[in-house]
Amino acid sequence: MSRLRFCLGVVATLFAAGACSEAPVTEEIPVVLATSDAFANLDAVAGTLTVENALGATLATKTVKVPATTLTVGDLTAGEVINLALRVTDPADGRLALVGETGLFSVGSSRPMLLQRTGTFAPLTAAPFALGDQAPLVGTSDGNLVAGLADGTLTVLDGRSRRSGPIALRPAAVANAFLATTDALLVIEGSDFARATAEVLDLNARAFYPIDPPTNLRFADVAGGATVRTPSGGSFLIGGTRTTTPSARGIRAASDGTLEPLLLQASRKGAALVQVPGVGLVVVGGAETAPGAELILDATTNGTSSIRPLSTNADSRTGLALATWDSQRVLVAAEDGSLTLLDTVCAPTCPVTPLPSLPPATHRTAVASATNDVLVGGVEAGAFVVHRVRANGTSVVPGPNARADGRLVRAFSSGILVVGGDATPWLFRGE
């Protein structure tokens, strides 16, 4: 099988440098308030500051007093890659009120922490990253964003090193790109999908390497498809999500860079997909006669993925948005405004439960904020609107609704970002 070539040298060097340090390091972290009323009705309160390593494991916790313009964090290891997360609870009701996070950075080169109220959107004008107007997003990973631009460049927003900016691709026309690991991106190139080729972009070295497709697959089979990351650190690229020509092909990239070809149960066009933790990758829609959904199981005992149809009626719809609802159900949001819950752990049939509808919209995207809590975005009457769908009903979330377009993407560990349609991204934090 083909294998992505990527470099872990930067991370390895940073950890090695930290291991040799003899004296602990103290960081002064600037605190940036997302809105002027972030501390309304909260005066002086205590918050819990958590230090996490690059893998998300907790290294230390500390109680801090806020409001504050800076946070002092000591006993850190020079050069170590960490994330700082702040959680502030409202003493009146015990609910999480404020959330802040730095994203990954190297100790010794501190970066600001954006602090905002939960359940709200806030503009990221003061954040250490930005995303250009209408830049199509091609991948997210560990709080880092990779945006593809129409002129054949990528804007890489790297939360670990704070390096960002355009990277020229070859050739200028890019069909699709997807993240295989934190440090590598497979870029499928060519405006003519039938002639698509690919290269691997090492995000650390900013260097390209040639790569051949896995056995029994052409890059043309998946060019233009959408990508989903897996909990194991790999990703799936599914050709049947593109809106040009149908495809039953896909690629699984394991966390070690190994590429595995996939053959879906049905050829699809314009399908939607979502990764359900503990279940697998769910693909819905885009086929007139096949079962309406199918499930791809990642990392089976023999190292390959297994694929099985879900017992649902045929579903030819395109423009769907999917998000996890709970441990086994998926929220399906359609352009006509209908909302349904699809059970993915089911036999012999897979129940579909209707929910109250939303207004019709185009350019649907959806991201889960928590269990039974999903944000659904779309363009309604020329304006981008975000709805919050919960078990007790739906509501419009104020904030980024003045833009003409946008999309919802996962950002950091608990955030949801609105990008596109405006130069300023907006970030939502759940409770």
Output the domain CATH number for residue 106: 2.60.40.2990
Any domain includes 82: yes
**Among candidate residues 254, 289, 317, the one where a domain is terminated:** 317
Cα atoms in the 13 Å half-sphere on the side-chain side of 181: 20
pLDDT for the residue numbered 245: 92
Residue 349 lies in a domain: no
- pLDDT tens track for 234-246: 788 899 999 889 9
2 confidence band (pLDDT: 50, 70, 90):
low
Q: Domain containing 69: what range?
A: 9-118
Which residue type sits at 371?
A: T
46 is a domain residue:
yes
Domain shared by 205 and 287, yes or no: yes
The per-residue pLDDT for range 378-404, each reduced to its tens digit, is 999 999 999 999 999 999 998 887 788
Amino acid at 420: G
pLDDT over 50 at 134, yes or no = no
| Contact present, 159 and 103 (Cβ < 8 Å) | yes
- The pTM of the full predicted model, rounded to 2 decimals, is 0.83
* In-domain check, residue 190: yes
Query: For position 209, what pLDDT does the model report?
Result: 85
- Pair 181, 142: CB distance under 8 Å: no
- Domain edge (last residue) among 79, 95, 118: 118
110 and 176 assigned to the same domain: no
Is residue 64 included in any domain, yes or no?
Answer: yes
Binned at pLDDT 50, 70 and 90, residue 111 comes out as confident
Q: Do 25 and 114 belong to one domain?
A: yes
The pLDDT, as a whole number, for residue 36 is: 77
The structural domain count of the chain equals 2
Average pLDDT, rounded, for the chain? 80
In angstroms, the CA 157 to CA 138 distance is: 12
Region of residue 56 (phi > 0: left; psi between -120 and 50: alpha; otherwise: beta):
left
> Considering the domain boundaries, does residue 98 fall inside one?
yes
From 118, 142, 158, give the residue that closes a domain: 118
Give domain status of residue 225, yes or no. yes
Residues 202 and 268 both lie in one domain: yes
Tokens of 70: 């800076």
CA atoms of 294 and 297, how far apart (whole Å): 10
- Coil vs helix vs strand at 219: helix
Phi-psi region of 152 (alpha: psi -120 to 50; beta: other; left: phi over 0): left
- Asked if residue 175 and residue 99 are part of one domain, the reply reads no
pLDDT over 60 at 191, yes or no: yes
Is the residue at 414 inside a domain? no
Residue 92 binned pLDDT confidence (cut-offs 50, 70, 90) = confident
Residue range 10-25, pLDDT digits in tens: 222 223 333 444 578 8
Lowest-confidence region among 86-100, 185-199, 411-425: 411-425
| Residues 184 and 308 grouped into a single domain | yes
